[in-house]
Every structure is written in C-alpha cells, then in structure tokens.
C-alpha cells in the first residue's frame, strides 16, 4: 500500500497519477488473487478512493491500463469498480456497503452532470469547470456505469481476466508465412 496515493491521509486531496492508479489497481488484483487477505484494510481503502475519485486531482501520464484510447479516468473508474464488484460477489458481508458506495458516487456524479447541463450553478460557466466535466467527471461516470454489476463467477476474477494478456494461437496461414521467412 505504500505505492498507493494518500494511503495514510483520508482527509486530504487525492492525487491520481499513472503510478498511483496502477498501484491501486494492483492492490485490488492482489486482494482478489490472494484469497481476500487483508480484506478489511484494503476494502476500506478502495472505498475511500471511490468516494474521493470525483474530486481528485488527475495527472495524466503514460497510457498504462488504457490501451483502447479511452479517457484515463474512464479506464481507472472501470477497473476500480470492476474490482469492487468482484469483491462484492465474493464477500456477501461487504456487498451492501460496496453497492451503496457505488450508487452514492453514481448519484453525485449524475447530479454534477445535470447541474452543468442545465447551467443551474456557476460550476458550468468556467472553461476549467467544463474541461473537468468533460475530461474527468463524465468519463468517471461512464466507467462506473460500465462496471456496475459485473463480476466473474469463476475462480479467476473478472479484473484478472481483463488484464491478462491472451495469446492468439497462430492460424495455419500465419504459420505458413512464418515458415517461408
């Protein structure tokens, strides 16, 4: 957890750079792959990240888990919430807490988007606010919406399956091309 952002500071601003995002996702994968060791500490931390994510500061860097040219915030939100859905599936005692936190963030993010589209607040009037809405908050909302309710009922967690490199077996045509050269 020492590589994760703000792991001892639950009150300050959360800064999510590429390294921090990767560390958080790795922590979630560890939780699932280790048979849910240290679940109390890790789940509390992941839920804190989820709650602070909409108002966090983002520092874009290399693409990392984003190999599909999607916004960084959307990919991170999707991965984090996929991990949380896998945990909720495997630990029924945390299911309500995780789903409540996800729905709370979904509600807050939807409200922010509605306020901005209706020009109800000053929030939507500044260029910086519109940029944050388009580059961070809407992608976070989409990543959360795409991941909710998804989990794997097999031994391999869905996030592990999604992040695993799958080799494509060579076709007979590709094999014959390889033999000629």
Which span out of 67-76, 128-137, 162-171 was modeled with the highest average pLDDT?
67-76
Two structure tokens written together for 173: 């045509």
What does residue 16 show for φ and ψ, rounded to 5 degrees? -110, 100
Is the predicted pLDDT of residue 118 greater than 70, yes or no?
Answer: no
Q: Give the per-residue pLDDT at 181.
A: 41
In a domain, 7, yes or no: no
Q: What pLDDT is recorded for position 10?
A: 56
Q: What is the DSSP string of 60-86?
A: --S-TT--SS--HHHHHHHHHHHHHHH
As a whole number, mean pLDDT of residues 160-166 equals: 61
Q: How many domains does the chain fold into?
A: 1
Mean pLDDT is highest, among 55-59, 87-91, 144-148, for 87-91
Better pLDDT: 162 or 29: 29
Whether residue 179 lies inside any domain: the answer is no
Structural domain includes residue 178: no
- Is residue 9 in a domain? no
Within a domain: 117: yes
Residue among 83, 89, 137 nearest 111 (CA): 137
What's the domain range around 154? 15-163
pLDDT at 83: 92
Tell me, yes or no, whether 103 lies in a domain. Answer: yes
What span, in angstroms and rounded, lies between the C-alpha atoms of 28 and 181? Answer: 44
């Amino acid at each position: 957890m020492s590589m994760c952002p703000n792991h001892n500071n639950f009150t300050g601003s959360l800064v999510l750079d590429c390294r921090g995002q990767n560390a958080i996702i790795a922590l979630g994968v560890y939780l699932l792959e280790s048979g849910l060791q240290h679940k109390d500490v890790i789940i509390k931390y992941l839920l804190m990240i989820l709650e602070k994510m909409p108002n966090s500061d983002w520092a874009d860097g290399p693409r990392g888990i984003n190999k599909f040219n999607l916004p960084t915030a959307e990919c991170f939100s999707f991965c984090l919430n996929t991990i949380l859905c896998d945990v909720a599936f495997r630990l029924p005692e945390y299911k309500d807490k995780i789903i409540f936190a996800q729905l709370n963030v979904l509600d807050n993010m939807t409200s922010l988007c509605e306020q901005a589209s209706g020009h109800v607040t000053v929030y939507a009037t500044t260029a910086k606010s519109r940029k944050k809405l388009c580059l961070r908050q809407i992608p976070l909302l989409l990543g959360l919406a795409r991941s909710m309710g998804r989990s794997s009922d097999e031994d391999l967690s869905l996030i592990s399956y999604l992040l695993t490199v799958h080799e494509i077996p060579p076709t007979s045509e590709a094999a014959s091309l390889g033999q000629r050269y």
